[in-house]
Amino acid sequence: MGRRILSDALSKLVNAERRRKATVELQPISTVISSFLSIMKNRGQLLSYNQSLHFSFSRFPSL
């Protein structure tokens, strides 16, 4: 399960972008996913994301 966390998160982001969804809920959140989302935000791929104990929301800049 540990190896698939980032893969599952990326799949959810890609599927949400294809369906033109504004938000995505990612579970579980790990340090790797948090770091990855920070990199995506710095490069302009995400508008914003919020992290709490169990979930994160991401927004795509071009819908």
Quick check: 63 pLDDT over 50?
no
Provide, for the chain, the percentages of residues in helix, strand and coil under a 3-state DSSP scheme, each rounded to the nearest 5.
Answer: 45, 15, 45
The domain segmentation of the chain, as residue ranges, is 4-58
Return the closest-CA partner of residue 27 out of 60, 58, 59, 62.
Answer: 58
pLDDT at 19: 92
The pLDDT of residue 18 is: 92
pLDDT digits (tens, 9 = 90+) for 1-60: 566 888 888 899 899 889 988 888 887 778 888 888 889 889 988 888 777 644 445 555
pTM of the model: 0.68
Q: Right CATH number for 4-58 from 1.10.3720.10, 3.40.50.1110, 2.60.120.330, 3.30.1370.30?
A: 3.30.1370.30
pLDDT at residue 15, as a whole number: 92
